[in-house]
Amino acid sequence: MTTEANNGVKPKVFWLTNVATPYRIPMWQWLSKSVDITLGMLRDPEASRFGAWTKDEIGVETEFFHSPTLTIGTRAIYFPNRAMRKTLKQDWDYFVLGGWESPAYFYALLVARKRGIKVIGHCGSTAQSSGYAGSFVSKLRSWFHQKLDWSVTYGTDCTDYLIGMGVDPEKIYTGFNSVDHVHFYNGVNTNRAVQEQSVGHKYLYVGQFITRKNVANLIKAFNEIRQPGDTLRLAGRGDLQSQLEELASELELGESVQFIGHRSQDELILEYCKANTLILPSFIEVWGLVVNEALTCGLNVVVSQKCGISNDIKHMSGVYISECEVDSIALKMAESRANWTGVRSDPQILQYTIEKYGQHFINAMQELR
């Protein structure tokens, strides 16, 4: 089903977001088959931890605004500039806004209201992941989301969060934040032969080495439950790496803990081929797309209940939901190892495709005609 009008002209959609991510690109490409979509990126591409994606690599018409930025701690606040204002003046049918926390998004919403353009919010934050506090900010956030015509959420926790702000539940499409599951499923099955057959359970962490990811507690948990031959591979980078390496040394974990550096998407497929259980023990996590990847590749996962994905996958086979404390992580890691029976050939998560996720935006546009 498409949104094409009777004359066959595709609706014009402007999608404003902070940065291009490899996870979102396949859905944008899929949407471009049904709508005339242009992406607007607020962050300088070179400043993104995902890499400086070019327009050709994204595969969809894209504008990079290089917006004026105010950095507060780890947060970046973006402001509208001349290039963005010029783009917003063009002839659009819909705006999709991928955030609320920057003046750039408020400006886009006000432009839409003035010009009669329909606005769809792409919302991911949950009550647990939102880092903004205070009554003024809460009122501002609620006002923003209530002014949207429709919202598409990452999952059920985000939907509950919006409803708690006073957003009409009839104006929300609850999605399931997706990666290109088929790419990972095919990739891991093509490369399964690289899996080592050595004794022991193979644990894997993929992500940044920063405080909110809770990697130190993961290493301590591994120390509590490891058995001969067990390994923990840590793929990523970040400011805490030297401290984490020192912790592993102090615990005398030796070669059983391996820091393997950043891995590209295709390199990660090889890591998933070698692994049995992925752990994401974060204190704060809007979703946790590496969990999608691991489940798609047939692995077990141990996921902190603070991760936005947790409630949407808790019914799936091979999923173990933990608290963030060492003892809880260790318990679930041990359970995953004890219950491991091999790679799943038909993961339940395969039903949550990028096409199914993207269709929510198409449905919202159809509702707004």
Residue 207 is assigned to a structural domain of this protein: yes
pLDDT at 349 over 90: yes
Residue 236 is assigned to a structural domain of this protein: yes
Same domain, 31 and 164: yes
Q: What is the pLDDT of residue 133?
A: 64
Same domain, 344 and 221: yes
Distances in whole angstroms, Cα of residue 61 to Cα of each of 29, 56, 283, 349: 10, 8, 36, 30
Torsion angle of the four alpha carbons 280, 285, 289, 290, in this order, in degrees rounded to the nearest 10 = -20
Distances in whole angstroms, Cα of residue 240 to Cα of each of 145, 202, 216: 35, 23, 9
3-state secondary structure of 233: strand
pLDDT tens figures, 92-133: 999 999 999 999 999 999 999 999 999 999 999 998 886 666
Same domain, 147 and 189: no
Same domain, 329 and 215: yes
Same domain, 359 and 308: no
Determine the average pLDDT of the residues in 185-211.
87
pLDDT tens figures, 288-306: 999 999 999 999 999 999 9
Same domain, 107 and 30: yes
Q: What is the C-alpha to C-alpha distance for residues 150 and 359, in angstroms, rounded to an integer?
A: 14
Crossing angle (nearest 10°) for helices 135-147 and 103-115: 40
pLDDT at 48 over 90: no
Report residue 6's pLDDT band, with 50, 70 and 90 as the boundaries. Answer: very low
Residue 279 is assigned to a structural domain of this protein: yes
Residue % of the chain over a pLDDT of 70: 94
The dihedrals phi and psi of 163, each to the nearest 5 degrees, come to -60, -40
Same domain, 96 and 79: yes
Same domain, 311 and 215: yes
Residue 197 is assigned to a structural domain of this protein: yes
Same domain, 41 and 164: yes
Domain that residue 338 falls in: 181-350
**At residue 214, what is the residue type?**
N
Distances in whole angstroms, Cα of residue 32 to Cα of each of 83, 97, 246, 312: 23, 17, 48, 27
Domain count, the chain: 2
pTM given for the model: 0.91
Specify the higher pLDDT residue, 222 or 7. Answer: 222
Domain of 108, CATH number, reads: 3.40.50.2000
pLDDT at 35 over 80: yes
Residue 361 is assigned to a structural domain of this protein: yes
Same domain, 156 and 276: no
pLDDT tens figures, 219-245: 999 999 999 999 999 999 999 999 999
Same domain, 27 and 132: yes
Q: What is the C-alpha to C-alpha distance for residues 24 and 102, in angstroms, rounded to an integer?
A: 20
Report residue 1's pLDDT band, with 50, 70 and 90 as the boundaries. Answer: very low
The top-scoring range by mean pLDDT among 74-78, 262-266, 307-311 is: 307-311
Same domain, 149 and 201: no
